[in-house]
Amino acid sequence: MTRLIKMGNHEYHVVVHPLLAGGFAFTVVDIDLTGPKVTEARHDSEIRFPTEQDAYERGSVYARRRARLFRR
């Protein structure tokens, strides 16, 4: 399951995946739709979260923080 956050010309997809040792981690995929060439950057968390919901919440916070940086 993926959560989508759209800010201007950027889309942030928050993807949560289970870890082998237990728990969850998130990946934020930043897609820049500016100009003729679409670029994509991945940001993987290195933190283990106990629940899937915790990972989604922290991933969403991370994506919103990155969106604010691009807006300035």
- How do residues 23-56 score in pLDDT, each as one tens digit? 999 999 999 998 888 999 999 999 999 999 999 9
In a domain, 72, yes or no: no
In a domain, 26, yes or no: yes
How far apart CA 28 and CA 56 sit, in angstroms, is 10
pLDDT tier at 71 (50, 70, 90 boundaries)? low
In a domain, 55, yes or no: yes
Tokens 């995929």 found at? 29
Range of the domain at 52: 2-63
Number of domains present in the structure of the chain: 1
Q: Residues near 65 by Cβ (< 8 Å), separated by ≥ 6?
A: none
In a domain, 69, yes or no: no
Query: What is the reported pTM?
Result: 0.83
- How do residues 16-30 score in pLDDT, each as one tens digit? 999 999 999 999 999
In a domain, 57, yes or no: yes
In a domain, 68, yes or no: no
> What is the three-class DSSP state of 26?
strand
Amino acid 27 reads: T
Q: Residues near 71 by Cβ (< 8 Å), separated by ≥ 6?
A: 7, 8
